[in-house]
Copies of this chain bind each other. A is one copy, B any other.
Amino acid sequence: MPNVTQTLATLKSKLLEIQHLKDAAALLSWDQETYMPAGGGQTRAEQLATLQTLAHAKFVSPEIEDLLFQHIDPTTGLANAETNGLDDASKALVREIWRDFSRAKKLPSDFVNRLERECSLAQQVWAEARRRDDFTSFLPNLQSVVALKFEEIDYLGYDDSPYDALLDAYEPGATVAQLQPLFATLRHGLRDLLQHVREAASPPDDRLLFQTYDKQQQLAFGKLVLQGMGYDFNRGRLDLSAHPFTTSFHPTDVRVTTRVFEKDLPSCLFSCIHEGGHGLYDQGLPQEHYGTPLGEPLSLGIHESQSRLWENNVGRSKAFWTHFFPLLRQYFPAQLGTISLDAFHAALNRVKPSLIRVEADEVTYNLHIMVRFDIELALIEKQVQVKDLPGLWREKMQEYLGIIPERDADGVLQDVHWSLGALGYFPTYTLGNLYASMFFQQACQDIPELETDIQQGHLLSLKTWLNHNIHQCGRQYSSADLLHRITGRALSVEPFLSYLRTKIGDIYGFTRTR
């Protein structure tokens, strides 16, 4: 029998080859969203399909399985005695490769192909349906996607709720049983906060954010902030795309995108900071584990915690703008010359229920997520049917946010996720917000001078803290373990609610907690 260290090295070299294929696919996707000429679209889809199919086939191959069975007891799925004798990182490595492999192996290639084809089609139909505000034309495609997700759930299996099987793909270990009480407490707190906001005497005026702002100047300022955050342009780039995103081909090449509108200052600004947070995570992953799970981000929720921490806990704070607002004023003297820091900070934090998730403020954002979570759960637990979704959407929006979209384009059709088969994805946004506040609270404790640092534009102490505590860990720990290692606590909504109550209360004048 070969030595386990040796088989592990062989396994890693095979994973590295697969990683290179995935990196190539990621570059093809990045190019598609940034520089690809329009005519290249059809072939690009085929090139991507080839790379992805090849990467999948290489991963679920008998060769990889044989190598894994040198480390794993096939009957229990747990590490064998020899593997248990390895160091913690190697044990975590085996555990995580096995997790990916056993999940991928449960899905027949034929099913993967059908799902990809159907989603590729559904995404195009969805885009057109949204444009024409016509849910009916999208209904058959969405029904097909949902039927495939039921099939997927059957392949994957689950203990409690069928929704857990989907959730697990995006946030390993998360369950409906855990999320429901958490979300209920959060919803209660947010609606209470929203009620206070509604009753406040004088809401901040945010019209100053929607004056005319030169696009090139906006982009230059976005770059300045990214540099201040420690995003390394020697290992990254900022480009334009219709929807901002971050992509990584290796920690030495992590790219972010933004979009820029002349009459919307927050859009470019906060997408730069948000994607910068994602980018710092990917640039901070351990290079020595590249190609293996230990070099990968832990979960979508943890990834989102990095973007939201920078976007909200930092980027919408008074401390941050104490340093950056004078600089921003130099970029836009005509627009901001007479505006005070307080007025600017208040405008950035204006709370107002609106129809579109991606434009929502921090208070209402998670209510948008809960609308989606409730609907997905009801659908996957077969309490409602796909055709009922537009009505259910309006009902839930009325219940949670007190407003109802007049058009499905601003309601049930607004997000791309379902057309892509990404059911179970939305809760990770809220988890990200919750993690972010817990992490940031802990960072403030661990770095006593953090607020002063931020006020002076010194953001690197925070970046280094995140590098060390989160980024460098890859997938060595579970989300719950990582959170506990860092904060000593289990996931809770209180740090997030408390952070928000203080900030919004200060701005709207209904608390005196500070």
Query: Footprint of B on A, CB under 8 Å?
Result: 16-17, 20-21, 23-25, 27-28, 31, 35-40, 42-44, 46-47, 50-51, 54, 232-237, 239, 249-250, 252-253, 255, 290
Contacts and interface: CB of A to CB of B under 8 A. Distances in A.
Residue picked from A16, A46, A255, most chain B C-beta under 10 Å: A46
Contacts of A28: 24, 27
A252 B39 contact: yes
A253 B36 CA distance: 8
Contact of A27 (B31, B37, B54): B31
A233 B39 CA distance: 9
B40 A250 contact: yes
Contact of A235 (B23, B25, B39, B54): B39
Contacts of A17: 50, 54
B31 A46 contact: no
Nearest to A18: B50
A30 to B, nearest CB: 9
Contacts of A25: 24
A21 B50 contact: yes
A283 B305 CA distance: 45
Nearest to A239: B35
B23 A234 contact: no
Copies per assembly: 2
Contacts of A250: 40, 43
A23 B49 CA distance: 13
Given A37-B233, A37-B252, A37-B253, 14 more contacts: A16-B50, A21-B51, A21-B54, A23-B47, A31-B31, A35-B237, A38-B234, A39-B232, A39-B234, A39-B252, A40-B235, A40-B249, A43-B252, A43-B290
A50 B20 contact: yes
Do most interface residues of chain A lie in helix, strand or loop, or is the interface mixed? helix
Nearest to A46: B20
5 contacts: A24-B51, A35-B237, A39-B234, A43-B250, A43-B290
A20 B47 contact: yes
B21 A237 contact: no
Contacts of A290: 43
Contacts of A16: 50
A236 B37 contact: yes
Nearest to A252: B39
A300 B16 CA distance: 34
Nearest to A287: B43
A253 B24 contact: no
Contacts of A255: 37
Nearest to A17: B50
The 7 closest A-B pairs by CB, nearest first: A40-B253, A39-B235, A20-B50, A43-B250, A39-B252, A24-B24, A20-B47
Find the residue from A47, A234, A250 having the highest chain B CB count within 10 A. A47
A329 B42 CA distance: 40
Nearest to A250: B43
Contacts of A233: 37
A43 to B, nearest CB: 4
Given A27-B28, A35-B237, A37-B235, A42 B252 contact: yes
* Interface-central residue, A20, A21, A31, A36, by most chain B CB under 10 Å: A20
Contacts of A44: 249, 253
Contacts of A232: 39
A320 to B, nearest CB: 26
Contacts of A35: 35, 237, 239
A145 B54 CA distance: 33
B234 A51 contact: no
Contacts of A234: 37-39
Contacts of A50: 16-17, 20-21
Contacts of A36: 253
Contacts of A23: 43, 47
A55 B23 CA distance: 16
A197 B21 CA distance: 55
Interface centre among A35, A37, A42, A249 (most CB of B within 10 A): A37
A57 to B, nearest CB: 11
Contacts of A51: 20-21, 24
Which of the listed residues A24, A46, A255 has the most CB atoms from chain B within 10 Å of its own CB?
A24
Contact of A252 (B20, B40, B252): B40
A43, A235, A236 — most chain B CB neighbours (10 Å): A43
B253 A39 contact: yes
A265 B44 CA distance: 36
